Amino acid sequence: MDVSKMQNYPKRVAVLAYDQLCTFEFGLSVEIFATPRPEIDNWYTCQTIAVEPGPLRAAGGLIVQCDSQLKDLAAADLIIIPGWPPAKAASDELKAQLYAARLRGAQFMAICSGIFLLADLGLTTHKTITTHWRYIEELRSRAPDAYIEENVLYCTDSQIMSSAGSAAGIDLALHVIRAEFGTQAANIVAQRLVLPAHREGGQKQFVPRPVAQNTNGPLANLLDHVRTTLDQNWSVKSMAAHTVMSERTVIRRFAETIGQSPAQWLIAERIYLARELLENAQMSVDEIALRTGFKTPETLRHHFRKKLKISPTDYRRQFNANNAA
């Protein structure tokens, strides 16, 4: 069955292996790109490249040994970095090989913390990149000249591709396959993995509700009170009345303490509550809209999609233990 876009030759994929290897990211890279797929013409050839002398330790007590060495990177069209310990330094030889790969036009696919290797080598300058939400602030400091997207599943910017959390690497891999071989091929791979065939890269990471800010005084009391009464019609005016502060003072205190306007914070809190209800409660979308203060399901859907790039119904389908409709 020919589902390819008729490449001139099978593209060559190199998956980096290193000491302290991230096992899941490595496993998904090998599973997706190294598994033979005779139904797809000109499927990739894939090597695992040891970037330092072995044996290499991996999470879970595993030891990885590779037949290919750094010199073999010279033939790679796509180089996959399956995670990378942020504190780990690259050898001079690895740096030289990656710089050479960039010059000859090879693509890089960094999964989760793998982007730190490329950032430390300066390969992300003026590129749009992402990583797991836990590492975003560290990535900002390590890649000051990059454009960092918060909370998206993956980014693609010419030679540099990056994914958020580990599982988002699967979404990025399917995107790579779709771009190379077409939608049918990506669907075949997704079906074999028993996974959704397509999640847009712009879909948000589902970041847990942040710990409440360490605030004191009237504003802290206001935040606690609003969180328990989100179904009420809160406005800057009603918040000011509750705290016995002027509206201007409330706005200023929000900006200084939270870094958001009262309206932005209120929408975010209502979405956090909506997520909890969609995950755990057997309430309808209409009921959740009322409980969260969005009032109508249309308003809930609008803000949910704007914030998370997914509908409430699809979110529930993915995360509700009972898979409620």
With 50 as the cut, is the pLDDT of residue 3 above it? no
Question: 299: exposed, middle or buried (C-beta count within 10 Å: 0-12, 13-18, 19+)?
Answer: middle
Task: State how far the Cα of 125 lies from the Cα of 96, in Å rounded to an integer.
Answer: 17
Q: Which residues pair with 17 in a beta bridge?
A: 50
Each residue of 104-134: pLDDT tens digit? 999 999 999 999 999 999 999 999 999 998 8
Cβ neighbour number for residue 69 with a 10 Å cutoff: 15
Mean pLDDT for 196-202 is 52
pLDDT computed for residue 5 by the predictor: 43
Task: State how far the Cα of 106 lies from the Cα of 74, in Å rounded to an integer.
Answer: 9
- Residue spans in the chain of domains classed CATH 1.10.10.60: 217-319
Helices within 146-228 (DSSP H only): 168-181, 183-193, 217-228
Task: State how far the Cα of 154 lies from the Cα of 241, in Å rounded to an integer.
Answer: 43
Residues 6+ apart with CB under 8 A from 105: 159
pLDDT computed for residue 256 by the predictor: 81
User: Which H helix or E strand runs over 97?
Assistant: helix 92-103
The dotted CATH code for 217-319 is 1.10.10.60
With 50 as the cut, is the pLDDT of residue 263 above it? yes
Homologous superfamily, domain 12-193 = Class I glutamine amidotransferase (GATase) domain (3.40.50.880)
- Residue spans in the chain of domains classed CATH 3.40.50.880: 12-193
Task: State how far the Cα of 210 lies from the Cα of 272, in Å rounded to an integer.
Answer: 10
Each residue of 42-84: pLDDT tens digit? 999 999 999 998 789 998 889 998 988 899 998 899 999 999 9
